[in-house]
Structure formats: structure tokens, C-alpha cells
Amino acid sequence: MVLLKFPTTVIGSWPRSKEVLRALRDKRAGRISEEEFQVVANQAVLQCLKWQEEAGIDIVSDGEQRRDNYISFVAEHLNNVRMLSVSELLDYVEDKSSFEEILGTLDVPAFSMSNPAAVGKISRKKPLALNDFLFLKQHTDKAVKVTLPGPYLLTRSMWVEGLSSVSYPAKEDLSVDIVRVLREELENLIAAGVEFVQFDEPVLTEVVFTKKNANRTFMCGALTAKADAEEELVFALDLINQVTAGMLGRGTTIGVHICRGNWSTQDEILLQGPYFPLIPYLEKANVDQLALEYATPRAGEIEAIRSIEGKTIGFGVINPRTAEIESVEDIVARVEEIRAIVPDDKIFLNPDCGFGTFAQRPMNSDEIACQKLKAMVEAAKKLRDMVSVKS
């Protein structure tokens, strides 16, 4: 994948249209067939692609238009996985009042989100994202990014005591099959020529920044985390390294995206804190890129990534949760800060997170998302011109 300096990309998701939302509901209810749903989704993907290409994005995605959200979609692609709403998860929580308190604090209605739970030995029923990539690649000459939930995120969310424990006594047992499934998918994608695969691991920040109710998190509907952050981070690092072992250097860039949650437009209820506690683990991650959130003060000091070597940085420069369009000048100024500690050829520009992580709760509109991407692309052009003049 040969790109200019400061290549631009997206984190993955895009707001779903009313037609897509209706088709998702109708497919779930059995009112339309899978084939009928794909017709609607295909048109939505092409529109999403058009917006990205018109904005000038270098590495595009399909907007995750076929997915209900960034994780629950796996249920349709795996054997022995059951979908649970967050309210249904209450049946498996001992301290129900605390869990309901979490939902209330996070501004999330319990009926609005869903979570995949392993109810037996899991395996791939069909590819998770390969077919989506093949469709998108037929319609663009741009490099394509495919997004997948990371192995720690999947393990945390899919192991639910009382449902999973017969087949998997502990979440560590489930992780073995999660790794196998993701390696199978990654092998298929690399063989198909995908340019970029991004694994999403937003829960890593929750591990280090959430103290109260440390054994439960809303971010992935999980009930199984241990309170010991170091133990969880070691486990998470081992899982991602198992998935990517032997996969680097084969023509596909592999990255990990780590944000602080993308479920609300209210910044004050989202996780905050610098990346410093994660750096010792991220340094050892067997990946090409770390895509990090840096467009809001919640992400802390850029200085945290100074010690990262041998990886590119996907630098978050626009906030997907606000209506305000970042100015080109402000984006350039922000990138100038990271240029002081990261070489130019290691810097990618992207939003902090997706614009439509959850189908029913998009963070923004199509129009604003497009304007934000255009500002980011213009900033990248200005940075290239600055570098060219200096050289």
C-alpha cells in the first residue's frame, strides 16, 4: 500500500439511512430475506463510498452499513451465538441495581443495545467481513480498510456466565476459539488482497480508567472483567499477538483502534485519561498501527506515545460526536504537535472514532461527517505542501 505522507482514513462506521435501519429491522423480524437486505445495504455502501471519495479520503471503508453495531453483527456469522439486549443481560447480573445505575449514568437505554453471547462452541458459519470487502473493492480503486472487533473485546463480551460456562468454563477458554475465528478471517482477507485490517479494542481504556464496578462494563456489554487492570491488559495483549502472529509483512497493514467509547455525544460521561497506562502493552503489540483518539482533551497528552517505535500512528484529529466542523488550521496545528515526536512517514490522519458506531444511535449526520472529512483531507494537503517546501 503506497500512499502520500499524512494519509487520511476513517475508523469505519458511518450513519445508517432510514432505509438501512428499516431493512435491518425487517431482516431481523423475518419480513425480508437476506438477499433483499443485501440489495438495500449495497446501495448504502456505494453512497458511503461516494461521500468518502468526494471528500478525498485515501483509505476508505464500507461504513459498516450491514452491521447493527461494531460488535453484535458477529452473531449472524458465527455458530452458537445468541443475541441479548442489555436489559436481558440483567438476568445474569447479581447486583442488578449497580448495573442499572451504570446504564443510567451512561445515558443509554437498556433496550437499545445488543450483545452477542456464546451459548455453545463457536465457529465461523460464514466470513465476518470478507464478502463485504470483495463487494467494496469492485467499486473503488482506493485502498480499503476492513474493521473487525478485537479478540479481547469479543472474549469479554461473548462470555456470559450461565450461558457460556457449559462450553467454556471461563472466558480464557472462549478466547481460544475467538483467536481461531479471527485468524481464519484475517488469513482470508490477506489472501483476497485487503490493504488494511483494523481490530477495534475500545475496552482497553475502560480497563484502566474505570474503578467503580470494575468487574462490569457497558462498553461491550461484558460482565466478566477482573478488577486487576494489569492482568486484563496482559491477557488482551496476548490475544492480539496470537491473532496477528505470522500475519505482518504480507501486504496488509494491521492496526488496533483504541478510543474511550463512542456511545454518547455527551463528552462528560465518556471515559477520560491519557494513554500512559497502556503504553507498556501497546509497545509490545504485534501490529503495524495504533489508531488513537486525540481530538478531545479526554485523551490526555500526546507525549504518551513518544516511546512507541516501529508502528505508525493513526492520529485522531476530528471529533465524530460534535456538530462543529474543525478548521483546517486547527487540525494542522494539532498534527504539528505530534510531528515533534513522531516521524512524518509514521502519521496517518483519522477521526477519533466512527460516525455511526451503533446503527440506532449515530454520533452525527451524513452532512457533518462529510464536512469533517473534507477538512481533514485539506489539512493533510496543507501538511504535505509544508513538508515539500521545507525539503
Distance between CA atoms of 381 and 366, rounded to whole angstroms? 23
Q: Please tell me the predicted confidence (pLDDT) of residue 221.
A: 43
Q: Please tell me the predicted confidence (pLDDT) of residue 212.
A: 43
Structurally, at CATH architecture level, domain 18-390 sits in Alpha-Beta Barrel (3.20)
Identify the H or E element spanning 347: strand 347-351
List per-residue pLDDT tens for the chain, 391 residues long: 768 899 999 999 999 999 998 999 999 889 999 999 999 999 999 999 999 999 999 999 999 999 988 888 999 999 999 988 777 777 776 666 666 655 555 555 555 567 899 999 999 999 999 999 999 999 999 999 999 999 999 998 899 888 899 999 999 999 999 999 999 999 999 999 999 999 999 888 877 766 544 434 444 444 445 557 888 899 999 999 999 999 999 999 999 999 876 666 666 666 677 889 899 999 999 999 999 999 988 778 899 999 999 999 999 999 998 999 999 999 999 999 999 999 999 999 999 999 987 767 777 799 999 999 999 999 999 999 988 776 6
Distance between CA atoms of 373 and 299, rounded to whole angstroms? 20
The answer to whether 253 and 197 are in contact (CB under 8 A) is yes
The answer to whether 260 and 228 are in contact (CB under 8 A) is no
Neighbours of 354 (CB within 10 A): 28
Q: Please tell me the predicted confidence (pLDDT) of residue 388.
A: 76
Pinpoint the alpha helices (H) of the chain. 18-29, 34-55, 86-89, 96-105, 130-137, 151-158, 171-192, 203-209, 229-244, 279-282, 328-339, 366-390
Half-sphere exposure of 79 (CA within 13 A, CB side): 10
Q: Please tell me the predicted confidence (pLDDT) of residue 58.
A: 98
DSSP of 18-66: HHHHHHHHHHHHTSS-HHHHHHHHHHHHHHHHHHHHHHT-SEE--TTTT
| Cell numbers for 316 | 485522531
Q: Please tell me the predicted confidence (pLDDT) of residue 216.
A: 43
- pTM score, two decimals? 0.91
Beta-bridge partners for 78: 124
Residue 169 CA, chain-centre distance (Å), reads 28
Distance between CA atoms of 335 and 294, rounded to whole angstroms? 10
| Cell numbers for 76 | 449472524
Return phi, psi of residue 115, to 5°.
-140, 135
**Beta-sheet strands, E only, within 207-319:** 253-258, 289-292, 312-318
SS3 per-residue string spanning 164-199: CCCCCCCHHHHHHHHHHHHHHHHHHHHHHCCCEEEE
Q: Please tell me the predicted confidence (pLDDT) of residue 71.
A: 86
Q: Please tell me the predicted confidence (pLDDT) of residue 220.
A: 46
Distance between CA atoms of 225 and 228, rounded to whole angstroms? 8
The answer to whether 239 and 182 are in contact (CB under 8 A) is no
Nearest to 40, CA basis, from 23, 15, 60: 23
Q: Are strands 114-124 and 78-85 parallel, antiparallel or unpaired?
A: antiparallel
